[in-house]
Structure 1
Amino acid sequence: MEMLELLKKITPEIVDIIEKRYLILRAISYNQPIGRRALSTELGFKERTVRDEVGILKNQGLLSIDLMGMYITHEGKNVLSNLHSIYGNLKGIPKMEERLKEVLKIRKIIISPGNLSENSMVLKDMGKITNRLLKESLLAKEVIGITGGSTMAAVADEVTSDNKIRDVIVIPARGGLGREVETQSNSIAAKLGQKLGGSYRLLYVPDGLEEKALELMLKNEEVKESMELIDNMNTLVFGIGRADTMAKRRNLSEEKIDALIKAGAVAEALGHYFDIKGNEVWEFKTIGLSLGKFKALNNLIGVAGGEEKAESIIAVSTLNQNMTLITDESAAKKILDIVSNAT
């Protein structure tokens, strides 16, 4: 990257040009066919800027345009693929990953440039990264657990089927939570299992059953089989939740939520609520992966972005050093700010 640093010194405007054209190519790739007005809204660029840049990219053979809108060409896809690492280096992502790994003391950090809270394409990028990591590390007869939530649903959406048959089983890591079918762990596990060319099992139990009802459910043969698979899980893909957000999703009372916040709870994982140092504040009884099993796993992939998740990421990262974190630039910067201000 010495040449890139030299170019930045001689022509500092090159950074803005590369960023602008990279973002346009990426947005069209994810949303094609798309019109100029919709593209300018998606990126927050002026329509004149989009028109000028699109004209240049079209002349270079990277885009095609018809009555339906703009498309990225085969050559454009190749250029976009090569631009990913260049764009990351321009934004200082590799150095930020190294610093964050030192701070969180976990196995690996992968940062997607941008802010998930402001740009939905960042979540798509994080999903594609998760897809690549999963396929690179899959072993025969592997049991993969996945949690629910909107982030995990987006991850499953970005997993691409490659028509390979894999001897893997995907299992929900916990019972169902919330009313939206698309973000239920059962739905996500089924979709992921199919796309990976493996199989899946479901866990027909809602999150947060009363103790007596839970005991009865655990006598069911299908539930017992699912719980045995969870106990034999090798890999977990999971989202990292804020304590207040997850408490509201569980319909906890305002008094309980206030008590959790006053106790310092900033994160939730598998029904357990933690303060920023990873100390458990409270447990909501759930069915599925235990905290002990979570801490003992050798392969965890945590996916979370947005600066509002920074404290939650810090807390959960203390629980298992075998974790790979896929996050975004805004969360990474916020985590480094929090750590810096604490020292």
Structure 2
Amino acid sequence: MEKIIQLQRKIAPELTQVIEARYNLLRHIQHTQPVGRRALAMMLDMGERVVRAQVDWLKTAGLVEFSQLGMTVTAEGQAMLGDLAEYIRLLHGLVTLETELVEKLNLKQVIIIPGDSEADSAVRRELGRAAAGVLNQHLGDNMTVAVSGGSTMAKVAEAISFSMPSTTVVPARGGLGEIVEYQANTIAAVIAGKLGGRYRLLHIPDGVSEETLEAILAGDAHLRTVADAIRHANILVHGIGEAVEMAERRGVPAETIAEIERRGAVGEALGQYCALPGKVVYVTSSIGLRLDDLAEIGTVIAVAGGSAKAKAILAVAGTGRQDVLVTDEAAAKAIQLLINNI
């Protein structure tokens, strides 16, 4: 396949451009179906006439169908998307880049989604779908899954399409002061609902003093049970954020944010702020998992994308004990550049 792609690039480079364009259209239709041509054109910032010509071709090929509600992808189109995704990955050199990052970041697996999740909502959904697929591969009977919060993790929850009724889902940390849909408790409940399993919630926000946390745990047997379940989770699925942005979302005081910046923090995961090449420089107190707890977790899956998060991903991965990274092309290539410049 790689040899064929190389030949196409030399002899008919316009062919690969057409394939990419039609793949992108098909992928967006899949994620927004049923969708009209005008709405699709606006979503992709393309001329409606160009979109009409391309989707008419896709219809003739039997990959999409039209109805009064809009366009939808046919069963043949769904199968074609899977094949095209692998072609695009080879075309962009992502298979080779995955192997390189596995070695450089000391991970077991790296999955790179073509595109930039910061600029394309379809790529954000693909990130969620890929992470959900990894979870499905590692999930077994009577397991406990810990999940963090955030918009990317909400996409993971949205993408769950399999069941495992014996699963217990718990939040990895206390709550953030953000919209309810992005809180770890909500995401844990949604994933448990999709799996047909159980969930246990943690109604303690991050940032509470260690003394207060100890007092709460001492007086609340239920909370101690939840905390124990979190620490002994079989699988952790978590996001990675930029340090300053996450500190602001957590309501960290301005003087503390300035100190976090002074210490060189660029990434955040599980309430811990990390500097390059992988040093924890500030910790938010909370009941739940920390990065140094991950040695006890069976499988750790990190999911994050966008070139702006490259330093954050590299810093968190550098702390060790991450097994699988699900990211996008923009972040992966930015990470590669950072590694080569260190």
Structure 1, 202-211 or 325-334: larger mean CA deviation: 202-211
Counterpart residue type for residue 103 of structure 2: E
Report if aligned partners of 1:112, 1:126 keep a CA contact under 8 Å in 2.
Answer: yes
Report if aligned partners of 1:208, 1:287 keep a CA contact under 8 Å in 2.
Answer: no
Counterpart residue type for residue 48 of structure 1: R
**What SS class does the counterpart of residue 230 from structure 2 fall into?**
helix
Please name the residue that 1:59 is paired with: 60
TM-fit CA distance, 1:322 = 4.3
Please name the residue that 1:196 is paired with: 195
For 1:236 and 1:84, how far apart are their aligned partners in 2? 27
TM-fit CA distance, 1:150 = 1.0
For 1:298 and 1:317, how far apart are their aligned partners in 2? 17
How far does the alpha carbon of each residue in 1:128-156 deviate from its partner, in whole angstroms, 9 at most, with x for none? 11111111111222111001111111110
For 2:4 and 2:269, how far apart are their aligned partners in 1? 44
Counterpart residue type for residue 167 of structure 1: S
For 2:101 and 2:211, how far apart are their aligned partners in 1? 44
Report if aligned partners of 2:242, 2:309 keep a CA contact under 8 Å in 1.
Answer: yes
TM-fit CA distance, 1:121 = 0.8
Please name the residue that 2:24 is paired with: 23
TM, length-normalised to structure 2: 0.95
Q: Report the identity percentage.
A: 40
How far does the alpha carbon of each residue in 1:154-185 deviate from its partner, in whole angstroms, 9 at most, with x for none? 1101111x4x4432211111111113111111
Please name the residue that 1:335 is paired with: 335
Please name the residue that 2:104 is paired with: 103
TM-fit CA distance, 1:31 = 0.5
How far does the alpha carbon of each residue in 1:294-343 deviate from its partner, in whole angstroms, 9 at most, with x for none? 2443410000001111011111112224420000000011111112222x
Work out whether 1:217 is the aligned partner of 2:216: yes
**What SS class does the counterpart of residue 327 from structure 1 fall into?**
strand
Report if aligned partners of 1:296, 1:320 keep a CA contact under 8 Å in 2.
Answer: no
Report if aligned partners of 1:146, 1:171 keep a CA contact under 8 Å in 2.
Answer: yes
Report if aligned partners of 2:165, 2:197 keep a CA contact under 8 Å in 1.
Answer: yes
How far does the alpha carbon of each residue in 1:35-57 deviate from its partner, in whole angstroms, 9 at most, with x for none? 21211222222222211111111
Please name the residue that 2:184 is paired with: 185
For 2:29 and 2:112, how far apart are their aligned partners in 1? 22
Please name the residue that 2:207 is paired with: 208
- What's the Cα RMSD here? 1.5
Please name the residue that 1:12 is paired with: 13
How far does the alpha carbon of each residue in 1:104-149 deviate from its partner, in whole angstroms, 9 at most, with x for none? 1211110000001100111111111111111111122211100111
Aligned length: 340
Report if aligned partners of 1:270, 1:286 keep a CA contact under 8 Å in 2.
Answer: no
Residue 264 to residue 297, structure 1, CA distance change in 2 (3 Å): same
For 1:196 and 1:130, how far apart are their aligned partners in 2? 15
**What SS class does the counterpart of residue 333 from structure 2 fall into?**
helix
For 1:228 and 1:249, how far apart are their aligned partners in 2? 26
Report if aligned partners of 1:107, 1:321 keep a CA contact under 8 Å in 2.
Answer: no
Please name the residue that 2:47 is paired with: 46
Residue 120 to residue 297, structure 1, CA distance change in 2 (3 Å): same
**What SS class does the counterpart of residue 15 from structure 1 fall into?**
helix
For 2:305 and 2:178, how far apart are their aligned partners in 1? 23
Please name the residue that 1:268 is paired with: 268
Structure 1, 10-19 or 60-69: larger mean CA deviation: 60-69
**What SS class does the counterpart of residue 300 from structure 2 fall into?**
strand
How far does the alpha carbon of each residue in 1:62-104 deviate from its partner, in whole angstroms, 9 at most, with x for none? 1112332211122211211221111211111101111222221
For 1:301 and 1:14, how far apart are their aligned partners in 2? 36
Report if aligned partners of 1:297, 1:322 keep a CA contact under 8 Å in 2.
Answer: no
**What SS class does the counterpart of residue 167 from structure 1 fall into?**
coil
**What SS class does the counterpart of residue 222 from structure 2 fall into?**
helix
TM-fit CA distance, 1:250 = 1.5
Residue 155 to residue 257, structure 1, CA distance change in 2 (3 Å): same
**What SS class does the counterpart of residue 282 from structure 1 fall into?**
strand
How far does the alpha carbon of each residue in 1:244-290 deviate from its partner, in whole angstroms, 9 at most, with x for none? 01110111222221221121011112221111121121112111113
| 1:1-343 to 2 correspondences below 5 Å | 1=1, 2-160=3-161, 162=162, 164-218=163-217, 219-342=219-342
Counterpart residue type for residue 244 of structure 2: D
For 1:212 and 1:188, how far apart are their aligned partners in 2? 28
For 2:69 and 2:141, how far apart are their aligned partners in 1? 44
Report if aligned partners of 2:154, 2:187 keep a CA contact under 8 Å in 1.
Answer: yes
For 1:5 and 1:264, how far apart are their aligned partners in 2? 42
Report if aligned partners of 1:237, 1:301 keep a CA contact under 8 Å in 2.
Answer: yes
Structure 1, 234-243 or 291-300: larger mean CA deviation: 291-300
For 1:217 and 1:265, how far apart are their aligned partners in 2? 30
Report if aligned partners of 1:149, 1:185 keep a CA contact under 8 Å in 2.
Answer: yes
**What SS class does the counterpart of residue 209 from structure 1 fall into?**
coil
